[in-house]
Amino acid sequence: MIGLRDDTDSTLPPPPPLSQAPAMAARIFAPDGLLSTYLQLEHRPQQSHMGRSVAKALVADDPLLFEAGTGVGKSLAYLLPGIVHAMDQSRQMIVSTHTISLQEQLQTKDLPLCRRVFSSSPETAPYAAFKSCVLVGKSNYLCTTRLSHALADRASLFTDDEYGELQRIAEWAETSETGLRHDLRPPPRPEVWEMVSADSSACSRKHCDGERCFYQRARARLRAAHVIIVNHALLFALINAGGAQAQGAKRDGKGVLFPDDFVVLDEAHTVPEVASDNFGLHLSSYGVDRMLKHLFNPRTKRGMLAKVAGPEITRLVEDGLDASRQFFETIASLLLAQRSVARLREAQPVEPLLEGPLGALERTVAKLADRMEEGRQRDEFLEQRLRLKALQAGVAEWLERAQSGHVYWAERSGKRQTIVTLRSAPIDIAPALRDHLFGCGTSVICTSATLAIGGEMAAFARRVGADSAPAVAVASPFDYEANMRVYVASDVPLPSPQEARLALDALIDYVRFCTLKVEGGTLVLFTSYTDMRAVAQALESDFLAAERPFLMQGEALSRTELSKEMRRLGNAVLFGTESFWTGVDIPGDALAQVIVTRLPFDPPTHPVLEARSDAVREAGGNPFAEITLPEALIKFRQGIGRLIRSTSDRGLITLLDSRVLAKTYGKLFLDSIPQPRFERMTRADRETKFRPFPPAEPS
């Protein structure tokens, strides 16, 4: 991101007025407040508690961990006081979410509702003028300056086929309101889009028309916004790239992402994983290939160097491509021949084959830039030089395992498993978050329906470096005892290599029985793609015969599209794994049952989890008790939380993992279900014990 403010005035501004957030929170969330009086929304004491707690933390610039059960209305509880505080103090509120669905809810439902709340009273009416925007990465925007130069330089940059795609982008740009890549259908080809996206130093106020460039227009909206919505991945990527200081904040100034901002992290249970993913290396064979071919593609004879460099220079790119291919193939054969993910345990596993070619190319690009006059083209070449240097440094760090406290590994991906990626991540993310998030002198609010384990948030607080932050939990206002029934299959064999076939047969049998007994929709949650595909293969014809629509993760539709399709169909069976345990929101009979096929324990084979477990073990701790079990409990709470999303929802939680009965830790899982009663069943008695709710009457 390019800086969003010009701090050229050295005079001290007058102090901002006092924040009215606490007083307004009391006024809005009171039993006779604006929400209940003017909007006829049911008064929720839990929401009132959260709104007042958030306001207090914002005024004091304090952190806060707040678990709010489903149905509390946590979005309004942080948005309303946050908007008041942002406008009173001329500060920006960053709201970060993990899922697209929550971002869409904030944009299309919650923020418009906030505007209605503020508009309902003369006292709060000025706050109805708040401005909001969504922050997305620069590479998602079209830059009209780069587009015009690409059209002018098409002979040296594009083949005839690629030029046709460039023309399609140019035609779309004439009518697009946003210039965002995801609004162009079908999506643009990556190799063409990267030539015209805003992710370049050529897209700047120096080179671009602020009225025409989509990114520069978005940047202006961002500067004026009181509420900025972002996703966790981009938030932590930007923090890792310098955060508020990169945007002009003084070294000792407040702010996480922008100077003097404050942050709300919704769906905060995902923060440790997402932050770890963005505070390490991520260098792929595909990315290196694309970067070098951006300079010059030997096959098409096109690229940035095509017009300005002779054969001896373009040969350096070919050398780099050859070295890259050999380097990544060597890593694949050495580390990834038998598995798709492998931890790097010793430094220098292969020769640094990329060091020489990348160094020669970087020096040559620098010399070419030095010969150019000041302007857009020189800036682009200097930027490519920096990217080559960063790539060199990243590869060297990975080969040397240079950062203490980090774990390094390689992985294969892609449809044909041909992409090799070099990865690293902090073993303990808490120190980084303590420095770059909670240590920024500004309020950071973490909220989710699932932060606590056994009623305590200490484990989450330690994991994110917020050990001293106040922690508050309020329960859901929903009547789970009346609207949720819980069934546990006690005769499914315990997971083990010896019982694997019997356990899978039992899963198939129970999934068939339970889904066909429930007239509404069923979400079946798996922990293994292999199990999911095996059960799907066995049951798809049964669903077809029963005229039940069948949906499965990993086929044509995305998670968001699958959720929408399930809502539309009303009685579908949806099979999902990892990402479907959280963030799916399907109210009503379209989701009348959640089946948990296995408790969501992560296998201890991933390098990050393995390294964290090693660290706990070396400190004399128990990795299962301190890492594996707590994370499984959070994920389990998220999974069962998919069922009841409104006061009128009813449905079944069906557990097909008998470890909840056979293992001592099983009680922790049962206790985390908001319905305290459950019914055991076996294949011998399930016909009489398994009782779905009747479908809701049409309204």
**pLDDT: which is higher, 526 or 241:** 526
| Dist CA 316 CA 681 (whole Å) | 69
564 C-beta neighbours (distance < 10 Å), count: 14
DSSP, collapsed to helix, strand or coil, labels residue 218 as helix
pLDDT of residue 5: 36
Asked if the model's pLDDT at residue 108 lies above 50, the reply is: yes
- Give tens-digit pLDDT for 395-447: 999 999 999 999 999 999 988 889 999 999 999 999 999 999 999 999 999 99
CATH 3.30.1380.10 fits 23-131+225-277+429-474, yes or no: no
Q: Which element (helix H / strand E) includes 392?
A: helix 376-400
Span 44-61, average pLDDT: 96
- 8-state DSSP, 231: E
Mean pLDDT computed over 472-483: 95
Mean pLDDT value across the chain: 91
CA–CA dist 293, 301 (Å, integer): 10
Kindly state the tokens that stand for 674.
């908001």
Q: Would you state the pLDDT for residue 13?
A: 57
**Model pLDDT, residue 482:** 95
Backbone angles phi, psi at 67, to 5 degrees: -90, 125
pLDDT score of 10 more than 50: no
Q: What is the mean pLDDT of residues 648-660?
A: 96
Q: What percent of the chain has pLDDT over 90?
A: 79
Contact 47, 238 (CB under 8 A): no
Distance in angstroms (rounded) separating the CA atoms of residues 217 and 221: 6
Question: 480-689 adopts what CATH topology?
Answer: Rossmann fold (3.40.50)
The residue whose two tokens read 């994983």 is 273
Burial of 224 (0-12, 13-18, 19+ CB in 10 A): exposed
Dig out the tokens for 577 from the structure.
């794994």
Q: Of all helices (H) and strands (E), which one includes residue 481? A: helix 480-483
Residues in the chain: 699
pLDDT in tens, 546-604: 999 999 998 878 888 899 999 999 999 999 998 899 878 898 999 999 999 999 998 87
End-to-end CA distance of the chain: 49
pLDDT higher than threshold 60 for residue 9:
no
Phi, psi for 690 (deg, rounded to 5): -80, 110
The answer to whether 120 and 129 are in contact (CB under 8 A) is: no
Mean pLDDT over residues 175-190, rounded? 92
CA distance readout (Å), 4 to 222, 244, 259, 292: 8, 10, 9, 31
Q: Alpha carbon of 120 to those of 99, 342, 488: distances in Å?
A: 31, 58, 48
For the cut 70, the answer to whether the pLDDT of residue 11 exceeds it is no
Closest listed residue to residue 368, CA positions, set 308, 316, 320: 308
pLDDT over 50 at 50, yes or no = yes
Written as one string, the DSSP assignment of 423-437 is EEEES--HHHHHHHT
Q: Would you call 546 exposed, middle or buried from its count of C-beta atoms within 10 A (0-12, 13-18, 19+)? A: middle
Strand 406-413 to strand 679-681: parallel, antiparallel, or no bridges (unpaired)?
unpaired
What pairing do the DSSP bridges indicate for beta strands 132-134 and 227-231?
A: parallel
Q: Taking the model in full, what pTM does it have?
A: 0.90
Say if residues 271 and 63 touch (Cβ distance below 8 Å): no
Q: pLDDT category, 247, cuts 50, 70, 90?
A: low
The mean-pLDDT minimum among 290-294, 324-328, 496-500, 657-661 falls in 496-500
Q: pLDDT digit string (tens) for 305-349?
A: 988 888 889 999 999 999 999 999 999 999 999 999 999 999 999
Find the angle CA(181)-CA(236)-CA(243) to the nearest 5 degrees.
Answer: 100
In the prediction, which pLDDT does 6 show? 35
Measure the CA–CA gap between 653 and 514, rounded to whole angstroms: 10
Bond into 549 cis (ω within 30):
no
- Of 521 and 695, the one with more pLDDT: 521
For residues 149-162, give the mean pLDDT: 89
Q: What is the per-residue pLDDT for 248?
A: 56
The pLDDT of residue 4 is above 50: no
Identical fold between 23-131+225-277+429-474 and 480-689: yes
**Domain residue ranges of the chain, discontinuous segments joined by +:** 23-131+225-277+429-474, 138-215, 282-426, 480-689
Residue with tokens 């300005």: 308
